[in-house]
Amino acid sequence: MVKKKACVFISGSGTNLKSIIKSSRDYNFPINIELVISNKKSAKGLNYAKKYSIPYRILACDRRKFEQGVLQLIFLKKIEIICLAGFMKILSKNFVRKFRGKILNIHPSLLPKFKGLNTFNRVLETNEKFSGCTVHFVNAKLDSGKIILQKKVKISKKDTPNKLAKKILIQEHKIYPRAIMKIISL
């Protein structure tokens, strides 16, 4: 079986990266992570790249240089799929267009509701009964690409933004690998 070559972009704790790495160790999982890219030197998620011996690069620079660097690496490593996992930089329209249908993102809400930042505060302020997470294709508009998979999470009265974030993160770790399997068949 030939797995597709993937690259994961991170900015922070990288727990979604970890869940994708773990899934990718399975013989039947359709991608292999060939590269991890962080736009932050301090991203804790880089430790998972180290732990699992995955090559990584830190590109802590402006968007133009970041994307130039990424393009070179992607070309060199023949990357076919890009997974954004807690990646906090907005990619340019040009970059996104180059990889149409090949960039995935995970967002901690039931899109199209609550695009953007501070999701958990906004969800709680509006007294929603449910929230959740969404894996979607990335297009030129923020958090607006075609939805691949979603998971609903019930909101309890006791939920704080932190508690809700933790509950949703557990589901993120499950749906990201499933979404990858859903869109890539070997």
Active site residues: 107
Q: Does 102 bind ligand GRF (CB under 6 A)?
A: no
Q: What is the C-alpha separation between 56 and 133, in angstroms, rounded?
A: 27
Task: Single out the segment in contact with ligand GRF by CB under 6 A; choices: 12-20, 26-34, 123-131, 153-161.
Answer: 12-20
Q: Which is nearer to ligand GRF, 28 or 162 (CB)?
A: 162
Task: Single out the segment in contact with ligand GRF by CB under 6 A; choices: 70-78, 105-113, 142-150, 151-159.
Answer: 105-113
Position 11, amino acid: S
Q: Does 159 bind ligand GRF (CB under 6 A)?
A: no
Quote the crossing angle between the two packed helices 15-24 and 161-183, to the nearest 10°. Answer: 30
Q: Which of 6, 14, 164, 167 binds ligand GRF (CB under 6 A)?
A: 14
Task: Single out the segment in contact with ligand GRF by CB under 6 A; choices: 29-37, 48-56, 101-109, 144-152.
Answer: 101-109
Q: Which is nearer to ligand GRF, 30 or 108 (CB)?
A: 108
For residue 63, give both structure tokens: 């968007």
Spell out where 54-176 has E strands: 56-58, 81-84, 103-107, 130-137, 147-154
Position 144, amino acid: S
Which secondary structure element, helix H or strand E, spans residue 126, and what is its range?
none
Q: What is the C-alpha separation between 99 and 138, in angstroms, rounded?
A: 9
Q: Which residues bind ligand GRF (CB under 6 A)?
A: 10, 12-16, 45, 85-86, 106-108, 169, 172
